[in-house]
Structure 1
């Protein structure tokens, strides 16, 4: 199949990136930092770049999106290069695997399966996925993958949904609120006991209960916290705009006054 001019340009750009990364990893004249990297040492950068892509997508800034997707693509190419250097696999294997998976999981596009809705597409996808990798019958094994692979807040949400679906659920939302009061009390008791290890455990229980409250009210806890972080920074920026000296030079009452002024302006 002949490649279009657009695809030819894309492949040339990808090949340039691959060659640059290979040069950075070359023992002859490469970059010392890149040569030191391992698959595990690069994990923080994958997470960071993924979040920066999400942030760019939320802004709608197309130039920023393209730039951040490039940073994320670099992590994919770099991981493949590290694996190739170790004799494990290469970028061709990565591309082949995902291409075969997409074809296999879209029989309504690449075969003769008929579907009438996106819900049927999703059901087919899950069935095919289950056939590819038979799932463990143990719920704990299914949940462990969320604990290992997702940020804690997202993992907690996934775990809460899965156990609820399995029947481990409160009868009504009042039961969730009662659990919240219980966990809040236990957290306060742990703090009073000065046992920080126990307090941290109880804090985790409290946060997990809040995640369940969000689930009952069909709220997204990750998006909620992202919104709070964003609003906090916006208010802090306004405080700095109002201030005629460093915020560190204000006392707490003055800071509270600036905070309320900023909050009022943002709330309109």
Structure 2
């Protein structure tokens, strides 16, 4: 194993070791797609892999699955968290591509999953967004020497409350929409960042997009979109705003748009949205609106 992720080293390894399966978070795949060595890499032995650990844009997964790209035709996504290792839901590599890329699959054997109203705790019907809860052999015993934190996360009936917002469809498959804390409430309307992110990334000039909420005196919160462009591309704010307004409900179009070179990430490649939010509050001079 590599001590840390490197797009160059990963691409070299894929060619040299004739790698057949590759697992990573979305930012790792994006880094490899954008690396100068990407088109020199031999993906002919690749057959499957997992994209997980953060919100996975369907278009990104579908690109990795294409034979003329990463050739990961059997790519799947897994949903879970450290507290429910190794996961709670997953699709099979033999499932249709749309199911594998547009959902995080269905419950693992012997694992129960449900969607609840985060305020009332009542189970939600299919097609409605709520908090994902799971119960089974994979649930942790508890946080080490932190009984209060454990009690807040795993209820008396053994259900792990994820803090993630998902929806179950009529097939029993789950669709991830974001974190409870990531959800933006603008003037009473719920805005799910992942919905905006997944759309913006379909623009051919865009490499990645992350949306966070920032405080606002009038609406309570407004959305900020931080966009990374493809290498060599240029774009204006009016250009991307017009693209969004022609396809997204007006109230969901971010008030603030910022073009950036990179995102703050932890060692595992997960994007730290709270760091982005903190930097935006400082940059926009909104400190007086932050709730203490």
Q: Same fold (TM over 0.5)?
A: no
Q: TM-score, normalised by structure 2?
A: 0.23
Return the structure number with greater relative CO, CA threshold 8 A, min gap 6. 2
Select the structure that is richer in strand. 2
Select the structure that is richer in helix. 1
